[in-house]
Amino acid sequence: MSIESAKTLVEQADSFIKQFEKRLAEKASVNGKLSVEKMDEEQEACYDVAWGAALIFAAKEMFDYPARVKADSESIETKLAIFFIADALNDIYSRFRVHALRSGMKLSEYESTLGGDQLHDFIAKNSGEAKAGEITSFIADGKYGIYGLNDDQGMMLDAFRNFAEDKVKPLAEKVHREDLTIPEEIISGLAEMGCFGLSIPDTYGGFQSEENPDNTSMAVVTEELSRASVGAAGSLITRPEIVAKAILAGGTDEQKNKWLPAFANGEKLCAVAVTEPDFGSDVAGIKVGAKKTEGGWLINGTKTWCTFAGRADVLLVLCRTNPDMSLKHKGLSILLAEKPTTRDHEFSVTQPNGGKMSGKAISTIGYRGMHSYEVSFEDYFVPDDNLVGGEKGLGQGFYLQMAGFAGGRLQTAARAAGVMQSALEKATRYALDRKIFGKPVIEYGLTKVKIAKMAAITQAVRQMTYKSAQLMDKHEGSMEASLVKFYSCRISEWVTREAMQIHGGMGYAEEYEVSRLFVDARVFSIFEGAEEVLALRVIARSLLAETLH
């Protein structure tokens, strides 16, 4: 069955979800305006709206994928696309059937709206062991599908894949098992390659062209480093992106000229201190405060989950510069708190004025190498020059911080793609080598279905990420970045879980790297916007609000 036959079905599913969004928005509105309180009475439906939107985004990108890479009907690219779309449509059909019935829609009407027999026929003919076997035969030969990059991006992929294979991969397991800080040879090597300047404009010493931005290259690099280790390399450029974009969005000229070149060449490494013990995604409730003093500010309070805070030279601290809590996020500003770098799991810094910053790494099941710290401030002095935006930056911290988070979400999707690609490769290799009941594991039907689905999902996430990056080049794509972050992070747990399962008992042993991939993938749905908050407060809220206008 040709991929063209999927187009109408995807459009029908998209239309149904949009109609469902409209009904849900009307139910969750008061006097024509969306009510968060009303939305919270329908959280399950709102979550599924977000998931459905992500699946539609993925299906549309996979529909375009074969033509984009000039693939014929018998290629792995076309087979991956059709297999993925069939699975996505099946997910949408199953997920929204109950919602439709609850809304009073008859089952026959629901079936007809989504395509009826045509839908079921498409799903039946393009899923299952036979179709999975066609895909798995390609993958067994090391063919995972063309990525669809231009020549420059392809060269970037090759360069960073080689670095990851030669420098990161040999150290990845040691860093994970011994809970080490990222080795300096990885940091210095990536600095020499310009890795830290990928999101910084060339006018400030980075590699991002202001005239022709290329966020896809950044995603490519992130994926390739994460394919070797998300904790020992893949996450290194996320923090410079978040901090740099905050400074670009609202920093003074002096701040841009001072900090951006230092970040771009790796001279200064940075971390982000936003989350607090009682306030994670609820940024408006942040309590860490900064009180004005002569020549600067004194920070007091505790931040948590400050990834890379020990090794970093400077922390972006989102804090309350106006003590009036009724201002919520409008009372927040960004201060750049400088500190000595350390590779230790604990640190303490005392300033000449008596101010103190102390931190302790939080023990985690995965994502080791970066280390996430709880950091406490006691009258820690930050000069006026380090208030991002100066006087104009007061009260703008939330907005400046969010300027970098879209890029952070995009990078997280690329990190998930790298981990999934690694899991797919390891699972395939093991399934080829391991024999059960007299034949290789890969020859069993269920294994073929697992591997084909893993490959289709990984390619879908990759193509969604590239599309989001291209939109970001045009200063668009905030919603798409949220959708791909939401989908990729949740689904990466399934992909890495299945990779472990294919390994059987050895998947549970640290002897095999696949166990690291599983625990690393678990963090994706938590950081850069927790899954539930991203689904309910960002994606669903935006989609429902849009239907009311």
| pLDDT recorded at residue 148 | 96
Question: 36 and 118: one domain?
Answer: yes
Residue 139 inside a domain? The answer is no
- Residue 366: CATH number of its domain: 2.40.110.10
Distance CA 338, CA 340 (A): 7
- Residue 156: CATH number of its domain: 1.10.540.10
Residue 260 inside a domain? The answer is yes
Distance CA 421, CA 424 (A): 5
Q: Which of 352, 372, 395 is the last residue of a domain?
A: 395
Question: 299 and 252: one domain?
Answer: no
Question: 226 and 293: one domain?
Answer: no
Residue 335 inside a domain? The answer is yes
Q: Which of 395, 426, 449 is the last residue of a domain?
A: 395
Active-site pick, 42, 77, 276, 528: 528
- Asked if 432 and 422 touch (Cβ cutoff 8 Å), the reply is no
Question: 276 and 184: one domain?
Answer: no
Domain containing 381 equals 270-395
Residue 481 inside a domain? The answer is no
| pLDDT recorded at residue 529 | 74
Angle, vertex CA 56, rays to CA 152 and CA 106, nearest 5: 175
Question: 200 and 294: one domain?
Answer: no
41: number of Cβ within 10 Å: 11
- Is 346 in the active site? no
Residue 402 inside a domain? The answer is no
Distance CA 412, CA 373 (A): 19
Residue 156 inside a domain? The answer is yes
| pLDDT recorded at residue 517 | 97
Residue 509 inside a domain? The answer is no
DSSP state of 197: G
Question: 379 and 357: one domain?
Answer: yes
- Residue 55: CATH number of its domain: 1.20.140
Distance CA 342, CA 348 (A): 10
Distance CA 535, CA 541 (A): 8
| pLDDT recorded at residue 14 | 97
- In the chain, the number of structural domains is 3
Residue 174 inside a domain? The answer is yes
Judged by DSSP in three states, 71 sits in coil
Question: 110 and 37: one domain?
Answer: yes
Tens of pLDDT, residue by residue, the chain (549 residues): 578 889 999 999 999 999 999 999 999 999 889 999 999 999 999 999 999 999 999 999 999 999 999 999 999 999 999 999 999 999 999 999 999 999 888 999 999 999 999 999 999 999 999 999 999 999 999 999 999 999 999 999 999 999 999 999 999 999 999 999 999 999 999 999 999 999 899 999 998 888 888 999 999 999 999 999 999 999 998 889 899 999 999 999 999 999 999 999 999 999 999 988 876 556 667 889 999 999 999 999 999 999 999 999 999 999 999 988 888 889 999 999 999 999 999 999 999 999 999 999 999 999 999 999 999 999 999 999 999 999 999 999 998 888 777 778 899 999 999 999 999 999 999 999 999 999 999 999 999 999 999 999 999 999 999 999 999 999 899 999 999 999 999 999 999 999 999 999 999 988 889 999 999 999 999 887 789 999 999 999 999 999 987
| pLDDT recorded at residue 277 | 87
Per the document, the length of the chain is 549
